[in-house]
Structure 1
């Protein structure tokens, strides 16, 4: 065989993993050279993609082309991060991660690439090569490659293992960059809450991180209560969930008692709407995370340079929920509590409870018969002490509202229609009942009017 013929055979063998040498006499030498050439080309292709933009998808695409197979990059729970289908692959479908892990020869996390066969997945399949991408005990993703035709399974496993090495380096690099960026944004948020004026250094940092210092913001404080040692709210994930829901910039920082979220308020939207959206997003975010312990306080919409006050508002609101927990309240806005939140958040709990009975004790002692009086009283304050609006909300005649307010005066001595001190006393006592989730008083979960 001439030198030119041998070179042609080597080049043809390098194109497909399952090609056979033309001469039986030179089969061992040709196969070894072909395999070495193919592995070298794969390593070069993976290294080239690791240095380019879109690294993960590029690595998966390169692996698919070299194996002439379908390759998937799956997240830890099975979601598709990236996939690639070569021209020679027969299909782009693979079994779910659950089925792959339930197969007879499932692959352990952190183990080298192995072959998994899923009964009934597809007729004629040799199997799937599966490997996990793990660093320091953290599972980043899974690589799944189909094994089709007369391809060398050993080579596919080697190729997937090499792809794991390159992908792990990319995941680790992205994690480091994400931590640096998160720490920088957290430090910026901390300085914004502490500062009443923004100096040149703070403005430069905000510009570099793409944060608008001129925007109004809402502070959400997540109070971590009732937790075992070492347990904490996943601040980064909660911030990401809220950002996806609200489509605004959110700065997240962990404080000594909980998590602070600095939420950008969109321009051109009423403050009440912004607060309602923030409250709903926090509730939904905690639910999606499965967090049963945390409670949240939401500040009012605050201008730049006044976030210290917003932080106090949010913290006091969260403290109110923490001290008087109920099954219906997970997040509450300071605007819903009013100035009485300062008393509720910082006073002796037993003294506050006794205050409620001192003010509304006769109404509470009356049982079900006085439920209409309590509800009417709450609606009266929610409507801005308007008898007409209260009647509309309760769907009763205005004279009925006046009669019920008269009954409140007879039972408690509170002249809520005319005396400002009595109004403040009644509103504060009703606030405690609402926090406790009293059945006769409308709760905070309803939309504000």
Structure 2
């Protein structure tokens, strides 16, 4: 089989023949055309000009070249004149300028010969002058032809690049049509580039990752390590940046890093690793297009989340107010994925002053993650209302305790300053949410009036009992006088009065059981009875036999506990460590199971001492949940 040699264009053969004839007529071994490379400031051999030394590079400051550029005559050099120059491999040379001063690029003819004995005569000079214009025309033709080839090559490269980019856009469109998700876009990016791709959010968490193959694994340094070499002047733009590898960057492979930003908001980073294939020109375009699609996904998901949040907020208000037909509420709940028949704990939250926008959504998400249940919320001018789903197989007291613990952790993690107040209802059915709202709001009012704002205050309705109605709505001066008038003899620092107050409190906490109070105090139950008798004697209140006196004393003790009386067990102080290693003090209480005679105060049925059932929010007496802000 005969091998097919590449075809040499006629203009190249013509130039090669002219140079061979020129060298022969001038008495030199070889001839070549040098052209000026303006980008590098050198004279280099014209391609395909018969050069045997394609690596020859002649600086423009070479003395013989400078003389030739200024003279129309051939410039001869030889012997010691060539020592130390780029022509030192030749014994003698001749340099002749071919093009005129207006030509671009400048062209010169270089004749070289290793033999030092031959002479360069006027006959040789005349021969060069006669063939000079012909060689220059042939060289110009070669340059024009090479320029045309370069343009065709660039056009073909541009066409291929355009086709590749069109394929990128088409693949992304197909991916979005099938699965409009960020993970799908990351997967397509990995397939198009043939490399590992990772999507990070602003908090440097990995959102999605994909390799070039479905079973491929991705291995990527931390985003903090990658961004160490990210140029600061590129931080404001979204153009892909290629980061070099090396010891200074702590990366073993190059990375394409693209900042994901849409409408002036930064969402995250898309990182393409140079593995397992090298980077290609199309990879940066692919990264830019994928980053734009992912940015649009971020905006779209945010809009969807905002619409769903607003819809759930409206449904929450309807559940609390009890407005709307049962069928309509159930249909709305089914559309939003909310069980409108679930039992829930209602929490009324008063945020500290100066809290950032989005406090309601942040604390809701924190409690959802902490408890692993659905939490509905709505916000108004007075505070945030949360509806925490309660499991049917967990006792109400335990559910309330878990909610208070979650609120304590959320307050420490979310609030920038102390002062959050939360009132927690007991577990109730949907029909009892209106009453639960009023009771939780009264708890917040009590805490706001009687406890210091230097701490987070988280209290349950059952912690306060029916006295909360009196404390939340009564005149402060009248309440202080009420305590003084009722328990004045026990508040004068007389010997033994602190023991009497503490005994009364423990007696109530133990369900009015002398034995239970004695166990709590570590004394004999007869001592408890004796102390209760002394209270009767000192205050005139029949604490054992008169229900009205019992309610009055319980209310007064609650006020004293709020005020931090040293003889009483004030609300429990719980220290929770926030995310920034700052200890945040929270005031809360432990919900105690009550005896039949000391029933909780937040059930759907009327209480013995609370009068008729409370009106729902929006009726006369208690304001409705504030309108959504």
Local SS of the residue matching 2:308: helix
Q: CA deviation at 1:361?
A: 4.3
Find out whether 1:349 has 2:492 as its counterpart: no
Is residue 370–residue 406 contact of structure 2 (8 Å, CA) maintained in 1?
yes
Alpha-carbon spacing, 1:54–1:377, altered in 2? closer, same or farther (3 Å): farther
Structure 2 length as normaliser, TM-score?
0.61
> Separation in 2 of the partners of 1:111 and 1:286?
37
Find out whether 1:376 has 2:503 as its counterpart: yes
Residue among 175, 183, 186 paired with 1:60: 186
> Separation in 2 of the partners of 1:408 and 1:299?
33
Q: Higher helix share goes to which structure?
A: 1
Q: CA deviation at 1:207?
A: 2.7
Q: CA deviation at 1:60?
A: 0.9
Find out whether 1:35 has 2:161 as its counterpart: yes
Local SS of the residue matching 2:466: helix
User: 1:7 is matched with which residue?
Assistant: none
Residue among 242, 250, 266 paired with 2:375: 250
Q: CA deviation at 1:174?
A: 1.4
Residue deviations 1:192-251 (CA, integer Å, cap 9, x gap):
1112674432332223223323222221111134337xx455222322222233333322
Q: CA deviation at 1:290?
A: 3.0
Residue among 341, 360, 370 paired with 1:235: 360
> Separation in 2 of the partners of 1:440 and 1:387?
19
User: 1:398 is matched with which residue?
Assistant: 525
User: 1:261 is matched with which residue?
Assistant: 386
Stretch deviating more after TM superposition (88-97 or 98-107): 88-97
Bigger-Rg structure (1/2): 2
Residue deviations 1:33-83 (CA, integer Å, cap 9, x gap):
443333222222222222233611111111122222222111221111111
> Separation in 1 of the partners of 2:498 and 2:523?
15
Find out whether 1:308 has 2:434 as its counterpart: yes
Stretch deviating more after TM superposition (116-125 or 66-75): 116-125
User: 2:252 is matched with which residue?
Assistant: 124
User: 2:203 is matched with which residue?
Assistant: 77
User: 1:289 is matched with which residue?
Assistant: 414
Stretch deviating more after TM superposition (145-154 or 300-309): 145-154
Is residue 419–residue 455 contact of structure 2 (8 Å, CA) maintained in 1?
no
User: 1:207 is matched with which residue?
Assistant: 334
> Separation in 2 of the partners of 1:373 and 1:136?
68
Local SS of the residue matching 2:426: coil
Q: CA deviation at 1:144?
A: 2.0
Residue deviations 1:358-416 (CA, integer Å, cap 9, x gap):
43444444299654443332221111111111122233322332344345445544442
Q: CA RMSD in A?
A: 3.2
Find out whether 1:218 has 2:338 as its counterpart: no
Alpha-carbon spacing, 1:75–1:369, altered in 2? closer, same or farther (3 Å): farther
Alpha-carbon spacing, 1:214–1:90, altered in 2? closer, same or farther (3 Å): closer
Structure 1 length as normaliser, TM-score?
0.83
Q: CA deviation at 1:166?
A: 0.4
> Separation in 2 of the partners of 1:88 and 1:262?
42
> Separation in 2 of the partners of 1:311 and 1:439?
32
Alpha-carbon spacing, 1:305–1:123, altered in 2? closer, same or farther (3 Å): closer
Find out whether 1:157 has 2:284 as its counterpart: yes
Q: CA deviation at 1:29?
A: 5.1
Local SS of the residue matching 2:191: helix
> Separation in 1 of the partners of 2:382 and 2:410?
19
Find out whether 1:185 has 2:312 as its counterpart: yes
> Separation in 1 of the partners of 2:344 and 2:478?
35
> Separation in 1 of the partners of 2:267 and 2:397?
40
User: 2:585 is matched with which residue?
Assistant: none
Local SS of the residue matching 2:431: coil
Is residue 147–residue 156 contact of structure 1 (8 Å, CA) maintained in 2?
no
> Separation in 1 of the partners of 2:212 and 2:495?
72
Q: CA deviation at 1:344?
A: 1.5
User: 2:271 is matched with which residue?
Assistant: 144
> Separation in 2 of the partners of 1:233 and 1:171?
18
Find out whether 1:278 has 2:403 as its counterpart: yes
Find out whether 1:447 has 2:623 as its counterpart: no
Residue deviations 1:412-443 (CA, integer Å, cap 9, x gap):
44442333233222211222233344454332
Alpha-carbon spacing, 1:138–1:261, altered in 2? closer, same or farther (3 Å): farther
Stretch deviating more after TM superposition (78-87 or 395-404): 395-404
Stretch deviating more after TM superposition (378-387 or 79-88): 79-88
> Separation in 1 of the partners of 2:495 and 2:263?
60
> Separation in 2 of the partners of 1:198 and 1:173?
32
User: 1:386 is matched with which residue?
Assistant: 513
Task: Flag structure 2 segments of 5+ consecutive residues without an equivalent.
Answer: 1-148, 573-587, 593-629
